[in-house]
Structure 1
């Protein structure tokens, strides 16, 4: 490509890059997974409002043997199934509760609700 053609492309690339940057999330949308105060765990908050979960299917990175500190705020009691080996079940009550999950094998592990049916988290364990 000639220098002249390249010079015409530079403004287009700059505009596209600026447009993509503008599409990113704002500071008002915090990530679902954050390091916890103890530094070794990952903290995630899950909210159940009627039959809707937030987050919904989000992938969270977790180290082998690292603790996931799960805070559940729910408008009614329920249960999560952690499809790890061995499988784990997490019963939660209406209100706010905290639960620790540790996975000792690499892979992607789904945390789901069967009633209502929803994949709440995907734990990518490395």
Structure 2
């Protein structure tokens, strides 16, 4: 019977990819109590900064229309309906991304960066600035539905 030997390097690469995928999927199953804090970055690579909103739910000044705040991600949530669907965004490392969430429920967006970040939002309008300093591909998903709202390519 002929013997088949798989090259050791390919076996290790396959195993490493499998472990990486399993860890990424497991991270989405964690609860907020297991996760890093939302408002304070855990190191110098990323940060999430909530911004103020007026009592009417409109963002406080400055607004994206009046100043150049950089790229904008607008997320609309109505129950289980979440949009956009995997919007592609190019972002420079350290560049601010304004995230505007308009939702009929409170919830949380998971930002799969290193370290992972969380954007908590209330029912109504929530505005947050997101900064990712580590280059790579970062997914942003709604925790409740697991819908991927954006794929950020950080250069």
Q: TM-score when scaled to structure 1? A: 0.68
Q: How many residues align?
A: 92
- Selected match of 2:124 from 89, 95, 104: 95
Note the aligned Cα RMSD (angstroms).
1.5
Deviations 1:50-84 (A, max 9, x none): 11111111111111111000010001011011010
What residue number does 1:120 align with?
Answer: 149
Task: Determine the C-alpha separation between the residues in 2 that align with 1:74 and 1:42.
Answer: 20
Deviations 1:59-113 (A, max 9, x none): 1111111100001000101101101011111100000010110000111100012
Structure 2 unaligned segments of length 5 or more: list them.
1-63
Paired residues for 1:63-78 under 5 Å: 63-78=92-107
Paired residues for 1:28-67 under 5 Å: 37-67=66-96
Structure 1 unaligned segments of length 5 or more: list them.
1-34
Q: TM-score when scaled to structure 2? A: 0.56
Shift of 1:36: 6.2
Q: Higher Cα Rg: structure 1 or 2?
A: 1
Q: Tell me which stretches of 4 or more aligned residues in structure 1 moved more than 4 Å.
A: none
